[in-house]
Amino acid sequence: MNFKIRAATEEDCKEIWRMLTELAIYLKVTDKVTITHEELKRDGFSENPFFECLVAEVPEEHKSEEGYTVVGYALYFYTYSTCSGRTIYLQDLFVMQEFRGKGIGKGLLSKVAEEKNIFFPQLGQKKKCEQLLLCGYAWNTPTQQFYAAKGAEDVDSEGSQYMCFKRQSLDNLANEAPKD
């Protein structure tokens, strides 16, 4: 199938949000999605963006049953590992159901990791990142198999455990910070 991958723009935020909600339905976490497309626009396309995003787009003649041409996205950001150094964290990789198995997911993942890319010099190896991290649901076998087939390693066996302070806990922790 013919498709192209490009850097997302502000105008893509409604499409990204649409697919983000489709992903939440698939993962059975719709109650956890509180972000809006306006917040995506603010957080990804401001002077100091919190994330970067790629979208996969098909030609008009291959649009989805609902009429969409933007059919996938990869949302990621940079972080740092004191063990490995510069790191890309892939938050979301999503391709609409009817476009899966056509190389779009692999294309998005490869673009994030790409070593030499004159069109997206801010990506992956251009930033000299040492690793790409992601987190997935243990029950989501197709996704685990997809990443494993591309060379991802399961680091749970290394003793890693992801933890999260959510809104109220984060507020409580911040309120306990020493005062100047």
Alpha-helix residue ranges (DSSP H) falling in 28-166: 37-44, 104-113, 141-149
Distance CA 95, CA 31 (A): 21
Active-site residue identified among 68, 73, 76, 147:
147
Distance CA 4, CA 55 (A): 8
Beta strands in the chain (DSSP E): 4-7, 52-57, 70-81, 85-95, 131-134
Strands 70-81 and 85-95: antiparallel
**Catalytic status, residue 76:** no
Q: In whole angstroms, what separates CA 9 from the centre of its chain?
A: 15
Catalytic residues: 147
